[in-house]
Structure 1
Amino acid sequence: MTTRFEVPGLAEPVEILVDRWGVPHLYANSRADLFLAQGFNAARDRLFQLDLWRRRGLGLLAEVLGERYVEHDRAARLFLYRGDMAEEWAAYGPGTEEMARSFVAGINAYVTLCRDTSGAGAGMLPPEFALLGYGPALWEAADVARIRSHGLFYNLHEEVRRALTLRDFGPAAEELRKVREPHGPLKVPEGLDLDVIPDDVLRVYELATTAPWSPNAPRQGLDGSNNWALAPSRTATGRPLLANDPHRPVTVPSLRYLAHLSAPDLEVIGAGEPALPGVSIGHNRHLAFGFTIFPVDQEDLYVYRTHPEDPHSYAYGDGWEPMTRVTEAIPVRGREPVAAELWFTRHGPVIRERPERQAAFAVRAAWLGAGMAPYLGSAGYMDARTPDAFTEAMRGWGAPGENQVYAAPDGTIGWRPAARVPVRRGWDGTLPVPGDGRYEWDGLLAPEELPQVRDPAEGWLATANQFNLPPDHPHEEHPVTFDWYAPTRYERCAEVLAEAREWTAADCVRLQTDYVSLPARRVLPLLADSHSEEPGVRAGLELLRGWDGTLSAGSGAAALFEVWFRRHLRPALLRRALRPLVGSGRVEEALARILPAEGSAADPRVELRLLAAPDPDGELEALLLESLGEAVDAVAGLLGDDPSDWAWGTLHRAELRHPVAALLRAAGTGGGTGAGGEAGDRAEAGAGGTGVPGWCGLGPLPRGGSGDTVGAAAYLQDFRQNGGASFRMVIDVGDWDASLVMNSPGQSGDPRSAHYADLFPAWAADEAFPLVCSRSRVREETAATIWLTPP
């Protein structure tokens, strides 16, 4: 099948070969035409997603979705890049502005075509627009760079949760809430009054950085990833292998989009976010590259003492400094525009004011500076041809912080963290600080002051967001962060990769979907000598004793362990530890504060530490058995009384929901166009009830794993998977056509496309498909041809 489009702005024709998995392979005669075609094609597959991305980021949701989004729009506008655009474009290196302009011209060409509903664009507009009653907007190139609130952000939530826990329950309770690495005593910054910080201090920040239609998505900054590289000595072919599986919200459409971009001076294939030009994870036939989050502390909450007679002046140095006011009009569908006052201090946007306490709060974020648009820094390394060129390009990388791994056909493998790390002298960023001038950043850490590794003697390297700074890193002088992820996924990767011999790309896929639970392996021996006369406890012991700790979808023991460890054992251990700290009357209040949020990245270290602690009173076994009995009863209530019928995948499932589902349900129930809130999130995916189309939900399909496993599958209170690797890639470095990939639920975001959900079953079954890139292999797999020509 061949389709042709006339596209304004093209100098010469561009050929797009779409393979049978929906991956577009774009062939152009210049970079300008290539990136224009990339924008046009991204809009062809993801127009509604692109439009929603832009509107949310720029604060333009209320314009089409109504008044209830005014607060979201105001919050988003606080976190736009507001600096000089010439400085912004220059920060990414030569050619980035031109690339963005071409890309946006392509999007606009497709938008313009779709608006011609009685001509060439008839029937092309995705159905979401008609259902919600508005049309797609045109873009400006600056939109790509100015929008910052879609990125992954680090430390601010931990600063505040730490401060509130210290305020209400003291430092010993904080030790039960969160592991800090390297560990050291917490010091409340001089001049900081913890009592002045309100519980809702981050409400506006969360409105800006969390999609309003996805209230139960993993909070940004709590998503992990895995990557590794194997040297030729570890592989079956004598070529390196590079694997990457970023963990983000599991959604429909998917977060990432695969594309192959080919021009005379550039060839790159892999994935990026559909609203951004280029490719950020993939290869360019000279190098393979991938990343995981390197959780740099790039944020601080500043607490100000405001003037008693002027709440928009704050104490700074020896005097008072006025805040800056920006007034903007927020367009609202069906109503007059709303005037929004935005206030800024020298440190950043003001997110909360407490005039009755003479206090205000602002966020300083490195990612609001020039050159920090999330992932746009990949423009600097897409066509790096040597390992040295790649690592040099990392010097200019902005946000988010990443563990970049790379591999070359000559056998080179390497790791380099890429991040702009604020220098804090005399303080460490673990808690909010006064905004009076005593706690300023002293520039950024020089890139060479971060460690890097090339060609390790072990023949492999891996990262999984764990604490991976070397022992000689000067933490006191140059803290990077104290809030790292649990090492569980890395430890399992290391265990497997250390034994790797004759590995293939398929072996890497198996590790990417590995469901061995290290917490289960460490907890199960504690039950080895336990006995009980209670029938339920006895049945639970029998089930767990015969289990190897793998959270496979078909395992009944996996279902019992997850319910037990997270829902019963964890709170029982924490209650026991909290009682002497806060008193019996406040245990439940304190427990609610320190329990990890459902659906967040898992961290079992506190519970494992409590289980390993001395037990002079011999209470631990009774606690283990009592909580296990409770868990058996709970699973029986969910899956029936017969443990032989239990299966983890019956509870733990992938059930993807389109953001429009909640919007339509709210409209259908008379609530007006809006997010739908909790009720919208509970909406059944599928047609019926309130007229929500069937394509708004996919699944359910059974899933293995958890937030603790390499095959990450974080889940919500109802066991629905909300985070993990919807995108996976393994690159056979040198034999590029032998690479493997997966992108769930499909390449297209248009519900009418055959590629909207075609990959969903294969993804849920932990499969992969070939990422072909040679012209001959692409032609073998081509299912459709698209020609873009100048008018």
Structure 2
Amino acid sequence: MNLSAKSSGLGKLMRAGLWLIGACIIIGLAVTLAYFYSAQSNISGKRTIKSLGDSVAITFDESDIPHIKAKSQADAYFALGYLHASERSWQMEMNRRIASGRLSEILGNDTVKIDRFVRTLGIKRAAERQFDRYPVSAKRLLQAYADGVNAGNAQLGWALPVEYFLTGSKPGHWSPTDSVAWMLMMAYDLGGNWHKELQRLELSQYLSTKQVWEVIQPYEHDEPVSNLDFSKLYRELKVYHPSPGPAEGKAKNLPATELSQLDQMGARDGIGSNNWALSGKLSTSGKPLLANDPHLGLSAPAVWYFAHLEAPGLNVIGGTLPGIPAVVLGRTDKFAWSFTNTGPDVQDLYIEQIDLKNPGMYRGPDGPLPFKVHQEIIDIKGSPSLTFLVKETRHGPVISDSYAKAKRTIDTDRFALAFRWTALDIENQSVAGLLDMNRAADLDQFKQALRKNYAPMQNVVMADIEGNIAYQAAGMAPKRILHHGLYGVAPAPGWERQYDWNGYVPFEQLPASNNPEQDWIATANQKIIAANDPNPLTGDWDLPTRYNRIVDLIKSKNIHSADDMKTMQGDTLSLGATPLLELFKTSQSPHPLSAQAMEIGRSFDGDMKKNSAGALIFNAWADQLTRNLFSRLSYLFTETYGSRNYRAPLINQIKNPNSPWCDDPKTQQVESCQDSSNNALGKALEYLNKEYGDDPKSWVWGKAHIAISEHRPFSKVPLLGELFNIRTPFAGDSFSINVGRLELMQSENPYETLQAPSLRTIYDLADLEKSLFVYQTGQSGWVQSKLYRNMNSLWANNEYLPLQMKPEKSSRQLELTNK
């Protein structure tokens, strides 16, 4: 009887449990269905917004580009803000938090170092000071955009993008200064000379100045822009930490793009772009052709959102950056423009000597000066708040209290490192410059608007329907005198006036060109010098591999078509590989797969095609050879190999078959570069055999060279990363026109790429309605939308979509009204 009662009670309990599980499943399904029904990831119809000035009609074309037609420019930018929030709310929330140093409020301890560094730089504080000086007309447009963002977030209701639920957060208030702050973060991403300064300081602990130049060398065959023996200077000053060593490791569950490697933003070789213009004399249409592909970190969603804005005095289409109220790259109905990063040295580090008797003072040119100090508080999810002091010298914020690599290098009891950067200047009005660019009626007005571009400095290549092509470097850069002082190549003693900046290069003296005799203009982050000024804008230009290849292709034909522009943008011949091919093809290894592999390798010509086995074998060998030569630098190599590619010093050293860098210091015998190359081949074959099997013909480049658009912040989180990230096999390498920079030691897969063409555009000035574009994700930031990743395969295969102001078909309509 008792057994029966127990059995009956157990059965009831099991039935109740099953009923509860079933009920939970039903409720979960109901909530999920309600979420997908309520989520406004594809808005259409009519929306009433009280803060809107007048009604705005928005038509989405087949590529999901919104065509915004408004009765005032303020309403047009309001609508753009509304769409940015509707389509990219989470992305904008991350942008806002990154720029204001408030990630840790929702992400916890993993992002405290990032927040502290951004707060130390004072990005949001600088943005607020700069915004106060903006023209009233620009302030009104920035406010209209911010109002649109906040209205867009409000209309999302409870069914927010899923990232908000996963982090337990909600959209924050967007202000005009958030737009200015995000512009500063874009400038930071594109202006990282200070990282090389710090690396030269670190290397000088162990190397002579001559050896430092061999590792971080000047542009190609140029002499260094500074003749100063900075290694000797630092030793005499005794600036170094008593026990230097590796910095603390990165958080492993954060993505590389703009989060866990904020310290590498701007420090990465290859950050830049390609653009070129051909005059009508070189085109099939008789009018100019213009092409552009900016190289930025790949993110999901992409950094770009395409839109068309039309209002009185405004008619522009192209790529916008969610968070900034402007078309940054694009065209009007009369002209088109393109950007690449000029890469001037606009950042300097200063070694400030602390007064040991009074640590609140530091050494100035005429005696002790007080540090400016203010307090910052970072709220941290799941932990107590962090309160810290930010110090500032006459040069700028002190970063050695918040940046681990600086803190571990210098003796922080006696010295501090201060950071000088043009973008933090109160005079910076770059967003106002973008607004003026969008309103320009012709190229002359556009060039006038470029005068307001402060940071980042850009190589602007333009073309118009009248047949003009033009180039202008636009931005602020400090005046420097060749071979005078340090020329910004390494940290300078802050108490000596000779190292202070002495004004900026006037706009009229910046490099420029109009309708050149050669009938073409091209930039790809190569060395740029104004004809009337022999002083280069930096001593740290990129290798000119992409530029040289562009020039070769332009000169290879007398007449070019828009299809030729596509072919050029997809070109994968690496001029960073070709100087190494002779050594590669003469390499030998006792590895059992060596004969098969080198039969493939000896026919490799440097073209990094996706289906090329030679490309993978070569890159694995070049990787191991680079490690052989420079791993003796210990943590100073392993921490940077990937953000820096070391290809230039590698090419330079193997020119000498008996370079001391080729000798292995761990062995008694003296190795030649051929010996090191043979050893590298063996290591490469071991790696490839282990990772890709025992058939070298199957070792194709596309299996290893995967382009990954990383989500913030779930890229590295198991399962979530698979859901949010976008992956595809990709061609090219760090030096090809169709660039795909290798991660090397910065990733478990050294040959994946997180930085590639962030978009491609082609303009035929004979008919601007035939303009083309593509980028690597899609217009939507909602992961459940088909428009989240719909462009990815087109982008990977170098295919394009139309960029038209007057599309024939539309996919949906949206009306914003205040009634």
Structure 1 match to 2:741: 714
Q: Structure 1 residue 329: deviation in Å?
A: 3.5
- TM-score of the superposed pair, with normalisation by structure 2: 0.84
**Percent identical:** 28
The structure-2 alpha-carbon separation of the partners of 1:734 and 1:601, relative to structure 1 and needing over 3 Å to count, comes to farther
Distance 1:338 1:595, change over 3 A: closer
Alpha-carbon shift at residue 419 of structure 1 (Å): 1.9
Corresponding residue of 1:280: 328
Aligned residue number for residue 143 of structure 1? 178
Partner of 1:130: 165
1:397, CA displacement in angstroms?
A: 1.1
* Separation (CA, whole Å) in 2 of partners of 1:49 and 1:378: 21
What CA deviation, in whole Å up to 9, does each residue of 1:632-690 have, x standing for no partner? 3322222222122221001111233312325xxxxxxxxxxxxxxxxxx3x45xx3xxx
Aligned position for 1:611:
654
Deviation at 1:417, TM superposition (A): 0.8
CA contact (8 A) 2:130 2:429 kept: no
The residue number in structure 2 matching 1:493 is 550
The residue type equivalent to 1:649 in the other structure is G
> Would the alpha carbon gap of residues 737 and 601 (structure 1) be closer, same or farther in structure 2, given more than 3 Å must change?
farther
- Give the aligned partner of residue 673 of structure 1: none
User: What residue in structure 2 maps to residue 160 of structure 1?
Assistant: 198
State whether structure 2 residue 724 is matched by structure 1 residue 696.
yes
CA RMSD, 1 decimal: 3.1
Amino acid in the other structure paired with 2:620:
V
Q: How does 1:374-413 map to 2 (within 5 A)?
A: 377-413=433-469
- The CA deviation at 1:745 is 0.8
Deviation at 1:548, TM superposition (A): 2.9
1:77-92 matches, cutoff 5 A: 77-81=119-123, 88-89=130-131
Tell me how far apart the structure 1 counterparts of residues 306 and 644 of structure 2 sit (CA, whole Å): 25
Once residues 346 and 284 of structure 1 are traced to their aligned partners in structure 2, the CA distance between those partners, rounded to angstroms, is: 43
Matched, 1:725 2:757: yes
Residue aligned with 2:420, SS = strand
1:640 to 671, 676, 693: 693
> Which secondary structure does the structure 1 equivalent of 2:359 belong to?
strand
Aligned to 1:187: 228
- Return the offset for 1:15: 1.2
Q: How many residues align?
A: 736
2:261 is the counterpart of 1:215: yes
- How far the C-alpha of 1:16 sits from its partner, in A, is 1.2
Within the candidate set 504, 518, 540, 1:458 is matched to 518
Maintained 8 Å contact 1:558/1:647? yes
Equivalent residue for 2:212?
174
Letter in 2 for 1:466: Q
CA separation of 1:531 and 1:727: change in aligned 2, threshold 3 A: closer
Partner of 2:60: 18
| Aligned residue identity for 2:152 | Y
Cα pair 1:232 1:240 within 8 Å, conserved: yes
Query: Letter of the aligned partner of 1:732 in structure 2?
Result: D
1:8, 1:109 within 8 Å by CA — same for their partners in 2?
no
Contact 1:227 1:244 in 2 (8 A): yes
Q: Given that residues 177 and 594 in structure 1 are in contact (C-alpha distance below 8 angstroms), is that contact kept between their aligned partners in structure 2?
A: no
Q: After the TM superposition, which of the residue ranges 541-550 and 639-648 deviates more from structure 2?
A: 541-550
Q: Secondary structure at the match of 2:115?
A: helix
Q: Is the 8 A contact 1:267 1:285 kept in 2?
A: yes
> Once the 2 structures are TM-superposed, how far is the Cα of residue 212 of structure 1 from its aligned partner?
6.5
Partners of 2:765 and 2:654 lie apart in 1 by 44
Q: What SS does the aligned partner of 1:444 have?
A: coil
Work out whether 1:41 is the aligned partner of 2:89: no
SS at match of 1:95: helix
Quick check: which has more Rg, 1 or 2? Answer: 2
Judge conservation of contact 1:228–1:461 (CA < 8 Å) in 2: yes
Q: Is 1:448 the equivalent of 2:475? A: no
Q: Supply the distance in 2 between the matched residues of 1:622 and 1:104 (Cα, whole angstroms).
A: 61
> Is the contact made by 1:599 and 1:723 (CA closer than 8 Å) also made in structure 2?
no
Determine helix, strand or coil for the equivalent of 1:624: helix
Q: Give 1:501 shift.
A: 3.7
Do the aligned partners of 2:572 and 2:609 also contact (CA within 8 Å) in 1?
yes
Q: Could you tell me how far apart the structure 2 residues matched to 1:545 and 1:435 are?
A: 53
Q: Does 1:27 align with 2:69?
A: yes
In 1: Cα distance, 2:135 partner to 2:245 partner: 39
1:431 aligns with 2:459: no
Superposition pairs for residues 534-553 of structure 1, below 5 Å? 536-553=593-610
1:315-334 alignment, distance < 5 Å: 315-333=363-381
Using the TM superposition, name which of 94-103 and 289-298 deviates more. Answer: 94-103
CA apart distance, 1:72: 2.9
- 281, 304, 315: which one aligns with 1:256: 304
Aligned residue for 2:155? Answer: 113
Query: Is 1:58 aligned to 2:100, yes or no?
Result: yes
Q: State the alpha-carbon separation in 1 of the partners of residues 789 and 395 from structure 2.
A: 44
Q: Distance in 2 between matches of 1:332 and 1:296?
A: 36
Structure 2 unaligned residues grouped into runs of 5+: 1-42, 402-409, 660-669
- Aligned-pair CA distance for 1:155: 1.2
Give the whole-Å Cα distance in 2 for the aligned partners of 1:644 and 1:211.
Answer: 33
Contact 1:93 1:380 in 2 (8 A): no
- Asked if structure 1 preserves the Cα contact closer than 8 Å seen for 2:509 and 2:532, the reply is no
Which shows bigger deviation, 409-418 or 497-506?
A: 497-506
- The offset of 1:377, in angstroms, is 3.2
Pick the aligned partner of 2:787 from 732, 745, 755: 755
1:306 and 2:354 matched: yes
Native 8 Å contact 1:7 1:788 kept in 2:
yes
Aligned partner letter, 2:816: L
The structure 1 residue matched to 2:577, chosen from 502, 505, 520, is 520
User: What is the TM-score with the length of structure 1 in the denominator?
Assistant: 0.86
Match in the other structure for 1:742: 774
Say if 1:649 and 1:284 are closer, same or farther in 2 by CA, change over 3 A: same
Q: Which runs of 5+ in 1 are unaligned?
A: 118-122, 576-587, 663-680
Task: Describe the SS at the equivalent of 1:307.
Answer: coil
Equivalent residue of 1:405, what SS? strand
Match of 1:247, SS state, is: strand
Once the 2 structures are TM-superposed, how far is the Cα of residue 321 of structure 1 from its aligned partner?
Answer: 0.9
Deviations 1:301-354, CA, capped at 9 Å, x for gaps = 111111113212101123211111112333344666543322211211111257
Query: Following the alignment from structure 1 to structure 2, what is the Cα–Cα distance between the partners of residues 85 and 332?
Result: 23
Equivalent residue letter for 2:215: R
Partner Cα distance (2:436, 2:247) in 1: 33
SS at match of 2:399: strand
Deviation sequence 1:670-723 (CA, Å, 0-9, x none): xxxxxxxxxxx3x45xx3xxxx37532223x21111111110101224022111
* Structure 2 CA distance for aligned equivalents of residues 61 and 627 of structure 1: 42
Bigger shift: residues 48-57 or 605-614: 605-614
Partner of 2:633: 590
1:212/1:714 CA distance change after superposition, 3 Å: closer
Q: Is residue 264–residue 643 contact of structure 2 (8 Å, CA) maintained in 1?
A: yes
Q: Secondary structure at the match of 1:746?
A: coil
1:80-110 per-position Cα deviation (integer Å, ceiling 9, x unaligned): 3577879734866673222211110100111
Letter aligned with residue 791 of structure 2: L
- Stretch deviating more after TM superposition (545-554 or 187-196): 187-196
How far apart, in 2, do the equivalents of 1:99 and 1:726 lie? 27
Please say if residues 99 and 124 of structure 2, whose CA atoms lie closer than 8 Å, have aligned partners that are also in contact. Answer: no
Shift of 1:603: 5.7
